């Protein structure tokens, strides 16, 4: 029997959330193309395994997570050291050191002293940042390479408007009453609206749905498995959410979206240039994206403004052709 040749292993660390994973897809695909003979392994929380594999940018996942978006220990890495390790987790020594502890043959990190890494720019969009970082090491990546294939799963509400009121932190959660007002107006305009949430957001989902008078069939609680969630978004008429993972999933499926930004500007985490997406944002001092109260800038966005943006994207006859290069996402 012929033994399969050894494939060098490449470990990438990006152990964050769904939105971070999807914002990192352009960089991950650049790595995949640059090292076609390597087995690309992505270290990230185990709950994101299905999402990571759906990108087709990695061969396997390595479970790794830490509380509060911290740097996880990688000491349970199996077998010999990675041939190459790439830090896409952050710009500090903690993530670099977690990878360095595995003694990879080569390590790429913002905090790596040699070879001299590119400069970290705090005002740079997340997708652009990591593509520029890789380019400094001769790895080409396109910040607009974000699309995911339409999943094989069945959508629980094809053609519906998906409203997702949750977010990891309170500072990025628009008030439930305003979401409910938006849901009522969209329903009155003849659109089917479903409300979704993560595994720990049932109370919020039920609050919004109850205020809006939605029927039980349109209340998608409990946190959908990724395949079902991805199918829901891919076949939706529109996604309305805060600055959270579902907004990035809408971008990945080219589904029209209205995203409500607060503590963080859409110029740092918003959708790519496209006529499909509206990012609502009131300029002001940056806030805490992990704060425990709604951000003041987010609260300046009214239900009427968000509803008008949603209806503009839902109007009959609106083109859904892919946007041309250079078209700007609308920021209001």
Query: 323: pLDDT confidence band, cut at 50, 70 and 90?
Result: very low
Percent of the chain with pLDDT strictly greater than 70 = 93
What pLDDT, on a 0 to 100 scale, did the predictor assign at position 5? 57
On whether the CB atoms of residues 58 and 41 are closer than 8 A, the answer is yes
User: Does 90 score more than 80 pLDDT?
Assistant: yes
The pLDDT tens digits for 266-302 are 999 999 877 899 999 999 988 999 999 999 999 999 9
Cβ atoms within 10 Å, residue 41: 19
Phi, psi of 136 (to 5 degrees): -65, -20
Cβ atoms within 10 Å, residue 5: 6
Question: Rounded to an integer, what distance in angstroms lies between the CA atom of residue 159 and that of residue 237?
Answer: 5
What pLDDT, on a 0 to 100 scale, did the predictor assign at position 117? 75
What pLDDT, on a 0 to 100 scale, did the predictor assign at position 272? 84
For the four alpha carbons of 318, 320, 323 and 327, in that order, the dihedral sign comes to positive
Question: Rounded to an integer, what distance in angstroms lies between the CA atom of residue 288 and that of residue 169?
Answer: 9
Average pLDDT over every residue of 151-165: 95
The one-character DSSP state at 27 is H
pTM of the full predicted structure? 0.92
The pLDDT tens digits for 217-274 are 999 999 999 999 999 999 999 999 999 999 999 999 999 999 999 999 999 999 987 7
The pLDDT tens digits for 69-84 are 899 999 999 989 999 9
What pLDDT, on a 0 to 100 scale, did the predictor assign at position 230? 97
């Amino acid at each position: 029997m012929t033994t399969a040749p050894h494939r060098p292993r490449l470990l990438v660390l990006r152990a964050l959330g769904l939105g971070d994973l999807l914002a990192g897809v352009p960089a991950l695909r650049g790595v995949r193309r640059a090292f076609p003979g390597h087995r690309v392994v992505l270290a990230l929380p185990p709950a994101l395994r299905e999402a990571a594999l759906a990108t087709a940018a990695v061969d396997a996942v390595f479970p790794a997570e830490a509380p509060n978006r911290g740097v996880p220990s990688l000491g349970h890495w199996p077998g010999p050291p990675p041939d190459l390790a790439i830090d896409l987790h952050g710009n500090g020594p903690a993530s670099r050191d977690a990878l360095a502890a595995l003694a990879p043959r080569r390590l790429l990190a913002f905090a790596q002293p040699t070879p001299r890494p590119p400069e970290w720019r705090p005002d740079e969009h997340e997708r652009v940042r990591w593509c520029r970082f890789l380019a400094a090491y001769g790895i080409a990546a396109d910040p607009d390479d974000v699309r995911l294939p339409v999943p094989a799963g069945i959508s629980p509400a094809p053609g519906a408007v998906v409203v997702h009121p949750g977010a990891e932190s309170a500072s990025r959660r628009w008030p439930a009453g305003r979401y409910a007002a938006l849901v009522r107006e969209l329903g009155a305009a003849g659109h089917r609206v479903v409300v979704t949430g993560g595994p720990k957001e049932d109370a919020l989902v039920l609050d919004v749905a109850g205020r809006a008078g939605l029927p039980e069939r349109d209340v998608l609680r409990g946190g959908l498995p990724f395949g079902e969630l991805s199918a829901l978004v891919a076949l939706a008429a529109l996604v309305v959410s805060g600055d959270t993972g579902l907004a990035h999933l809408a971008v990945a499926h080219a589904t029209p979206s209205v995203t409500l930004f607060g503590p963080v500007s859409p110029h740092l985490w918003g959708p790519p240039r496209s006529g499909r997406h509206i990012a609502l944002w009131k300029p002001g001092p940056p806030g805490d994206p992990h704060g425990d109260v709604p951000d003041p800038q987010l609260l300046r966005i009214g239900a009427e403004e968000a509803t008008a943006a949603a209806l503009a994207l839902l109007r009959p006859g609106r083109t859904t052709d892919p946007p041309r290069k250079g078209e700007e996402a609308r920021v209001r």
